[in-house]
Amino acid sequence: MFESAQVPTVDPEHALRLASAGAVLVDVREPYEWEAGHAPTAVHVPLAALPTADVPAGDGPVLVICRSGHRSQEATLLLVGRGHDAYNVAGGMQAWALLGGLVVTSGGAPGEVA
């Protein structure tokens, strides 16, 4: 296990700004969570698939998000170990939505955090 102090982290407000500026937002939740609702610009890479997945490059760091911020901590450490400038989004999609970040379904309809 790891200590959260070792995981590069950004608060959700900063994550919203970075994502708006072109940073890659990687959602590591399970498919059913993704289908219920996700950030419109996010890329879905379930945590189990992340060790062998290609993470797209963007303008800025890779932001990693899950429902509450725990699974994304593990994913962030994995990406940092692979040489990415990656940061865990504290509070996950729950915090994202509370701050007014959009949550949509794959069809573009309003979604919810599952």
At a CB cut-off of 8 Å and minimum separation 6, what does 74 contact?
2, 47
Backbone angles phi, psi at 46, to 5 degrees: -55, 145
Length, in residues, of the chain: 114
**H-type alpha helices, 1-114:** 12-20, 31-36, 71-81, 92-98
Among 15, 65, 66, 86, the one annotated catalytic: 66
> For residue 38, what are its two tokens?
């996700």
- Confirm whether 66 is a catalytic residue: yes
Query: Can you tell me the distance from the alpha carbon of 26 to that of 44, in angstroms, rounded to the nearest whole number?
Result: 6
Residue positions annotated with a catalytic role: 66
